Amino acid sequence: MSEPPHAPAASPEPVLSLRRVSKHFGAVSALTDIDLDVRAGEVVALVGDNGAGKSTLVKILAGVHPPSGGTITFNGNPVTFPNPSAALDLGIATVFQDLALCENLDVVANIYLGRELSPLRLDEVAMEKRSWQLLNELSARIPSVREVVASLSGGQRQTVAIARSLLLDPKVILLDEPTAALGVAQTAEVLELIERVRAKGLGVVMISHNMEDVRAVADRVVVLRLGRNNGVFAPDATNAELVGAITGATNNSVSRRAERRAAAQSQSGAPSHE
């Protein structure tokens, strides 16, 4: 709370902290004893194979699913989210993979959807001003906030979705596959955006399949495998280490090639495996 807004380095105390969080769907354990810390001003990348439990974890944090066990601590207090708006009120905003924007509404209406100012006589001027302010903070390039979202590119839509999540001044923002559907230039734009959000002093949790993107912006890489923690890596960890942790196999094409290269150059680089 007492952090200055432009704190560039991560603060020592985590804003959001998970301890032994589990989730069962009937007989299936989607998540088992997950630990995760997110500090203000840091980007935590959540990586893992399909079915590793990344999306389930995000849904728990977004208040879509209640956890089956474990504790979630936010700003030092244990919390529970019975529904999505509870998580939002607390200060955890989520940008889902499909963005959930209404294409037939303009940018302002989408940013303020469900939270319109003065419900019986919409305050369009105040809403438009604040929308521009949010977009400018992200140095976003949106031609007009009175244009319907259907006319925007994928990257611009992602920008609108992120701007919307920032409307309520969250402490932590969760991004589910923010670059999955984007081209090269738009991906770069969104990664830039993530850095700006971090510079605002927010904790960012980013799910991604793309190791390049993860290395580009993440401060820490948390690997999930089959619903369990499988190591925390620095962003400069080698591909072999990450792929090994994600797949659980130490014998695959990536690791074999790495071994050959390592053998050729004798020994180099100890794994920062926790």
Q: What is the nearest approach in angstroms of another protein to the Cβ of residue 160? A: 12
Q: Per CB under 8 A, does 234 bind another protein?
A: no
Q: Per CB under 8 A, does 119 bind another protein?
A: yes
Q: Per CB under 8 A, does 257 bind another protein?
A: no
Name, in order, each residue with C-beta under 8 angstroms of 16's C-beta and a sequence gap of 6 or more: 36, 37, 38, 61, 72, 73, 74, 92, 171, 172, 203
Q: Per CB under 8 A, does 254 bind another protein?
A: no
Q: Are strands 43-48 and 228-233 parallel, antiparallel or unpaired?
A: unpaired
Give the Cα separation of 151 and 137 in Å (integer). 22
Q: Per CB under 8 A, does 132 bind another protein?
A: yes
Give the Cα separation of 104 and 194 in Å (integer). 26
- Check if the beta carbon of residue 180 is closer than 8 Å to that of residue 199: no
Name, in order, each residue with C-beta under 8 angstroms of 25's C-beta and a sequence gap of 6 or more: none
Binding mask 136-175 for another protein (x = CB under 8 A): x----xxxxxx-x-xxx-----------------------
Q: Per CB under 8 A, does 185 bind another protein?
A: no
Q: Per CB under 8 A, does 192 bind another protein?
A: no
Sheet holding 28-39, edge to edge: 28-39, 14-25, 69-74, 77-79
Question: Looking at 1, 125, 184, 264, which residue binds another protein (CB under 8 A)?
Answer: 125
Q: Per CB under 8 A, does 82 bind another protein?
A: no
Site for another protein, rule CB under 8 A: 84-85, 88, 96, 98-105, 109, 113-116, 119-122, 124-126, 128-129, 132, 136, 141-146, 148, 150-152
